[in-house]
Structure 1
Amino acid sequence: MLFRGTLWLLLLLPLRPPGVQGRHGTTSSGQEADEPTPWPSVQRLQEQLRTAGALSKRYWTLFSCTLWPEHCEDQETPVPPLGWSLPLWGRRSLDKLTAWICRFQDCCSGGDCRISNNLTGKNFVARMLVENLYRDGVRSDCVKMFIPTFHFPHPKYVDMYKEELQRQMQETQWRCHQSTFIFDEAEKLHPGLLELLEPYLERRSPEAHGAEAPRAIFLFLSNLGGSAINEVVLGLLKGGLSREEITTQHLEMPLQAEIIKSVDSSFGSSRLLKEHLVDFFIPFLPLEYRHVRLCVRDAFLGQDLPYTEEALDEIAKMMTYVPEEERLFSSQGCKSISQRINLFLP
């Protein structure tokens, strides 16, 4: 029988050594003192114990959600996939313990219950793509999504991140004949992680690894090049082209050039671009007022709320539009619209 519980380690420590003043001006030997003097080492110890307690709670949360995922569906804060923010030795120990316990009970019947990809609010096109490539869509074992600020938040742990990322990618490719790896906010990837990805994107002849070598699709989602896209689209519209007449050929080269010269990201200076390892650059045209208005309507419908045409116009006008003179494109797309409609609720 498996009992759900936690393992507690109780540390019995003296609160203060002999002779150190207490809170009420007395020493531990009972002598009076005029003013209490804080003991910094006790404060540091208390902070360390609180940190250890929080870490233990995160281990237990990850462990219990792995074994009993049905009890974690109502959590407001998602558990990081495979505990990326936990120490490497701790994650591996947790994986071994989970595997051992799963020998005695059915932890996962469908093969998808341990997948914790969270694409809420992420790129809609990426979701459409994987849902048409895989029967289980984003919940497929063959789809992995990584967000730098979530999975790789601390540069000083980049070596640990590289080891874990490589392990996950190799396991996914071993499991799947066709795998998909999505890197959201790709402009924030650490140079060391970009270097790790280079061998996976290099072109190989079928003879090198056999005709049945696993296929891998890499999607890099980024906001880089947005200003170049706006500038080219604005020029084309002023030149008489309609939005529907603008093609990828109009934008691919300016977009790539803008990404390469970007000084705020290491993505443009990586070998991924210099060696032309990225096959396609897919630009997304900026949203105009009419598109934002449709987003407002969808936000109302998504919450089963009534709306008026005047409300759609009012909320759409609240967004910021660029360039400053033309005010043609929404600078934030449709972000924050769902929060803005709350201002119009009775």
Structure 2
Amino acid sequence: MRFLSILPLCLSLLATLPRPLESLEPLTMGAIGFGALGLGTYFKEHTYCRFAECCDDRSIPADTYALAASLSHHLFGQHIVAQHVVPAIKAHVGRHSSSRKPLVMSFHGQPGTGKNFVADLIAQALFLEGSKSGYVAKYLGQADFPQAERVGEYKARINREVRQQLRSCPRSLFIFDEVDKMPSGVFDTLTSLVDYNAFADGTDNTKAIFIFLSNTAGSHIADHLGNLMRGGKLREDTRLSDFEPLLKKAAYNLDGGLKKTTLIEAHVIDHYIPFLPMEKAHVVKCLEAEFRRWHRDPNAAIIDEILSSSISYDRTHGLFAISGCKTLEKKVAMAIN
């Protein structure tokens, strides 16, 4: 009975005591929140992200030195590519980069000149998992965008998926292959995503890289190079300025995904990179490299046989291998097995 008599007094005293969280001021609550966030980030970086891919420096080492070495050892006949692609990427992904827009490059050239090969080397250098990285998005013209009448649907898809990928990782790489086989207008909604923009939803596009691969203007590059060489200019002395205006004009006017596109009109493509047609000496180097890939010494007899039976040259100049190095992998594999 005595306990019951003092119960109201105890409850009254308890009501006057501060509750643990309510007694903390907003600044203290904020510190707790940031502390929890920091702890969560630390936990993720030092546990999960040590074993799984994350949008961090471990998974995205951006090793431009490795890229330069790979191009030097494995890419043949493309001095303009080596001169411009590595510096462009290095300036964009470097620790002191202050880029205000994505890096956008357009690769042009005939089949077998190395466009896909270089794009893959870029992915290998930037990402720990290379082209298999979840932060590398690749689209194929004929497979992904086959019908011109569905261009509106394709534009919406690109806009949606690029935004989602950027939210997942602002340092993503986007590769659009077979651009010449895509319907005109497919990239129009992409223009605002690769321009100087601050998105309302907080999406960061300034760290991304976009690469377009196209056979468009491949014959134009070959004809122009052939004429320059006939005029006495050495292949190795040609420069980007010899081809870039030609590429920009051809990409805008010839059939394909870049035809009459706002990407070109808005000047958001930073570099038009020409992949020069391959001469016999470059094809030989490709064949030798393929033998080494099979851990075999290059066989001169087999190389001569492949050159004489499988390689055709352009009719205009008689200098450039029509298919470049594209079919050589299977030719060598068949010859040595």
What TM-score bracket applies, with the shorter chain setting the length?
A: 0.5 to 0.7
The structural deviation recorded for 1:212 is 6.3
1:248 and 2:240 equivalent? yes
The one of 274, 282, 293 aligned to 2:284: 293
1:270 and 2:212 equivalent? no
Which amino acid in 2 is paired with 1:243? R
Structure 1 unmatched ranges of 5 or more:
1-108, 113-120
The structural deviation recorded for 1:269 is 1.6
The one of 133, 138, 143 aligned to 2:126: 133
Which amino acid in 2 is paired with 1:227? S
Equivalent residue number for residue 25 of structure 1: none
1:313 and 2:312 equivalent? no
Q: Structure 1 residues 221, 207: CA separation in 2 closer, same or farther (over 3 Å shift)?
A: closer
Calculate the TM-score normalised by the size of structure 2: 0.59
Equivalent residue number for residue 260 of structure 1: 252
The structural deviation recorded for 1:330 is 0.8
Aligned residues: 229
Contact residue 173 and residue 214 of structure 1 kept, 8 A:
no
Equivalent residue number for residue 173 of structure 2: 180
The structural deviation recorded for 1:295 is 1.4
1:331 and 2:322 equivalent? yes
The structural deviation recorded for 1:139 is 2.5
Q: Structure 1 residues 252, 192: CA separation in 2 closer, same or farther (over 3 Å shift)?
A: closer
The one of 106, 117, 120 aligned to 1:124: 117
Range that drifts further, 302-311 or 242-251: 302-311
Equivalent residue number for residue 135 of structure 2: 142
Aligned-partner Cα distance in 1 for 2:288–2:276 = 20
The structural deviation recorded for 1:163 is 4.0
Contact residue 166 and residue 204 of structure 2 kept, 8 A:
no
What is the RMSD of the two structures over their aligned residues, measured on CA atoms?
A: 3.1
Q: Which residues of 2 match residues 32-181 of structure 1 at below 5 A?
A: 110-111=52-53, 123-155=116-148, 157-181=150-174
The structural deviation recorded for 1:246 is 1.0
The structural deviation recorded for 1:268 is 2.4
Contact residue 185 and residue 260 of structure 2 kept, 8 A:
no
Aligned-partner Cα distance in 2 for 1:325–1:207 = 50
Contact residue 173 and residue 209 of structure 2 kept, 8 A:
yes
1:221 and 2:163 equivalent? no
Equivalent residue number for residue 111 of structure 2: none
Looking at both structures, which has the greater relative contact order when contacts are Cα pairs under 8 Å and sequence separation is at least 6?
2
The structural deviation recorded for 1:253 is 1.0
The structural deviation recorded for 1:293 is 1.1
Contact residue 115 and residue 275 of structure 2 kept, 8 A:
no
Aligned-partner Cα distance in 1 for 2:276–2:266 = 26
Q: Structure 1 residues 318, 268: CA separation in 2 closer, same or farther (over 3 Å shift)?
A: farther
SS of 1:144 mapped into structure 2? strand
Aligned-partner Cα distance in 2 for 1:277–1:316 = 41
Aligned-partner Cα distance in 2 for 1:213–1:336 = 37
Which amino acid in 1 is paired with 2:280? Y
Which amino acid in 1 is paired with 2:118? V
Aligned-partner Cα distance in 2 for 1:334–1:318 = 14
Aligned-partner Cα distance in 2 for 1:282–1:240 = 23
Which amino acid in 1 is paired with 2:213? L
Which amino acid in 1 is paired with 2:293? G
Q: Structure 1 residues 207, 247: CA separation in 2 closer, same or farther (over 3 Å shift)?
A: same
Give the greater-gyration-radius structure (CA): 2
Contact residue 319 and residue 330 of structure 1 kept, 8 A:
no
Aligned-partner Cα distance in 1 for 2:307–2:217 = 24
Q: Structure 1 residues 140, 242: CA separation in 2 closer, same or farther (over 3 Å shift)?
A: same
Aligned-partner Cα distance in 2 for 1:228–1:340 = 28
Structure 2 unmatched ranges of 5 or more:
1-50, 55-113
SS of 1:218 mapped into structure 2? strand
Contact residue 145 and residue 182 of structure 1 kept, 8 A:
yes
Q: Structure 1 residues 158, 212: CA separation in 2 closer, same or farther (over 3 Å shift)?
A: closer
Aligned-partner Cα distance in 2 for 1:212–1:201 = 10
Aligned-partner Cα distance in 2 for 1:156–1:207 = 30
Equivalent residue number for residue 106 of structure 1: none
The structural deviation recorded for 1:185 is 0.7
